[in-house]
């Protein structure tokens, strides 16, 4: 379980023996002590930073657990691309490129209800022992088109952590399964951005903030990239409230292996066309002052400085990249080179999956396309691609068979 974070619930007496043994394990994110004598067990629990609460009832544990999960999500989804500088632009960070290419392809695909059904089936399998989430999945299936994508994304349910986890781990299979939703969400952000811009909601320079924890290793990478570019590989939530975000950053310091980070982001709408929107009145929480950015938004890091003379609390001053940023223009050119313009959207996706080493997934897409097309030219291309997949898998006789079919 190297990629998962564990929240442990232990009894008071047993916890005194177990906590010292597991506390330094990197996978253990938070510990909760469930006991009958809160006063007694709070005495020893205060010596262990990962113990988030000592509780005497289940409701209290659930309440604190929700907050801890929210903090965990806040602390996790960050991609620092230390290679994205003008000096090393030819050695681009692969995760940024892959996410951006995948995003571009997903936005061109015409998804059907069948794709949504496949995703819902996958969710039911994943949460088959979680009655609460099964209820949310049923509601999602029943009411998806009655609510906006932003409403669903900000709702307290399986979607937000599921999407962010898939993007963080570059789980291409899962990203494709939820591709219809990612595309719908990105399109809504694009549309709202135009609407809010036309209403002069963002007609001048402003600041947004994001407070979170960062591992010491990631923070070292961040410091090396001062002056360079940095992307967040999810749909980035920020706030206009400096103090609220700073609380998140300070809270992260309660975990010994984290550094508290306050991102201070300068936004100039007149210089950038990157979509971002205020989610007030359109999110699950109507009174939210959050600003959400389109997936894989890129910023330039200016300065990194300590806050309150604390060596575990830092502010990172950064700026939303402008449309004329030369490094970004090079990135855009590279991405356009990767996406062939003479293929349909599913062919592009199959080609992309082959480059990612996902040959089986690519083959399934090509086989589905064969069943759905009557165009001989398109069939020839698909047979050729299946032949390439078979060749890469070492099935040379099968590859030859499909190459011959492509010529017929």
Domain ranges for the chain, please list them. 6-74, 77-339, 341-407
CATH: 3.50.50.60, 1.25.40.10, 1.10.10.10, 3.40.605.10. Which one for 341-407? 1.25.40.10
Q: Tens-digit pLDDT profile for the chain (408 aa)?
A: 555 678 899 998 888 899 999 988 878 888 999 999 999 999 999 888 888 889 999 888 887 887 777 677 666 545 545 444 443 333 335 567 777 878 888 888 888 898 999 999 999 999 999 999 999 999 999 999 999 999 999 998 899 989 988 888 778 888 889 999 999 999 999 999 999 988 878 878 999 999 998 888 889 888 888 888 888 888 999 999 999 999 889 988 877 778 999 999 999 988 888 899 999 888 887 667 799 999 888 898 999 999 988 989 999 999 998 877 777 777 677 766 766 655 677 777 787 778 777 788 888 888 877 877 788 888 888 888 888 888 888 888 988 988 888 887
CA–CA gap between residue 128 and residue 131 (Å, rounded): 7
Say how far residue 132 (Cα) sits from the centre of its chain: 23
Contact 120, 141 (CB under 8 A): yes
**Distances from the Cα of 64 to the Cα of 33, 47, 55, 195, angstroms:** 11, 19, 9, 38
Q: What is the pLDDT of residue 251?
A: 84
β-pair partners for 267:
206
367 CB-near residues (< 8 Å, 6+ apart): 386
Sign of CA dihedral 231, 234, 235, 239: negative
Contact 328, 298 (CB under 8 A): yes
**DSSP-derived 3-state class of residue 329:** helix
Contact 323, 272 (CB under 8 A): yes
**Distances from the Cα of 3 to the Cα of 27, 28, 273, angstroms:** 8, 11, 34
- The model's pTM is 0.78
| Dihedral over alpha carbons 150, 100, 215, 299 (to 10 degrees) | -80
CA–CA gap between residue 289 and residue 307 (Å, rounded): 24
Q: What is the pLDDT of residue 86?
A: 40
Q: What is the pLDDT of residue 280?
A: 87
For the chain, the residue count is: 408
CA–CA gap between residue 71 and residue 213 (Å, rounded): 9
Q: Which two tokens stand for residue 396?
A: 């040379």
Contact 246, 262 (CB under 8 A): yes
Sign of CA dihedral 76, 80, 81, 83: negative
Q: Which two tokens stand for residue 285?
A: 């929480």
Most distant CA pair in the chain, distance: 80
Q: Which two tokens stand for residue 350?
A: 């199959």
Contact 49, 253 (CB under 8 A): no
Domain 77-339 has CATH 3.40.630.30: no
């Amino acid at each position: 379980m190297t990629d998962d974070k564990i929240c442990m619930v232990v009894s008071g007496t047993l916890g005194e023996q177990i906590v010292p043994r597991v506390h330094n394990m990197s996978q253990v994110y938070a510990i909760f002590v469930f006991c009958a004598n809160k006063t007694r067990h709070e005495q020893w629990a205060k010596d262990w930073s990962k113990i988030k609460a000592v509780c005497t009832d289940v409701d209290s544990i659930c309440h604190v657990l929700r907050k801890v999960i929210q903090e965990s999500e806040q602390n996790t989804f960050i991609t620092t691309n230390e290679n994205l500088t003008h000096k090393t632009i030819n050695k681009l960070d692969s995760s940024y490129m892959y996410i951006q290419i995948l995003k571009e392809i997903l936005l061109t695909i015409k998804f059907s209800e069948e794709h949504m059904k496949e995703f819902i089936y996958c969710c039911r399998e994943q949460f088959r022992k979680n009655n609460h989430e099964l209820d949310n999945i049923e509601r999602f299936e029943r009411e998806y088109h009655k609510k906006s994508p932003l409403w669903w994304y900000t709702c307290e349910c399986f979607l937000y952590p599921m999407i962010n986890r898939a993007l963080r781990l570059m789980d291409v299979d899962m990203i494709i399964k939820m591709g219809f939703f990612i595309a719908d969400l990105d399109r809504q952000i694009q549309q709202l951005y135009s609407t809010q811009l036309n209403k002069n909601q963002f007609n001048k320079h402003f600041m947004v903030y994001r407070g979170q924890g960062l591992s010491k290793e990631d923070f070292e990478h961040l410091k090396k990239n001062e002056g360079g570019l940095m992307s967040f590989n999810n749909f980035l939530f920020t706030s206009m409230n400096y103090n609220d975000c700073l609380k998140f950053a300070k809270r992260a310091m309660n975990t010994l292996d984290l550094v508290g980070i306050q991102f201070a982001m300068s936004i100039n709408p007149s210089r950038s066309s990157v979509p971002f929107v205020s989610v007030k009145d359109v999110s699950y929480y109507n009174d939210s002052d959050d600003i959400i950015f389109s997936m894989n938004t890129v910023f330039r890091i200016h300065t990194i400085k300590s806050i309150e003379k604390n060596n575990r609390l830092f502010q990172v001053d950064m700026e939303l990249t402008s449309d004329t940023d030369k490094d970004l223009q090079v990135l855009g050119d590279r991405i356009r080179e990767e996406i062939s313009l003479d293929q349909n959207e599913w062919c592009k996706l199959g080609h992309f999956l082959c480059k990612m080493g996902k040959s089986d997934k690519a083959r399934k897409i090509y086989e589905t396309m064969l069943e759905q097309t009557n165009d001989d030219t398109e069939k020839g291309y698909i047979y050729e691609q299946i032949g390439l997949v078979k060749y890469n898998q070492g099935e040379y006789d099968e590859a030859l068979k499909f190459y011959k079919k492509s010529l017929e």
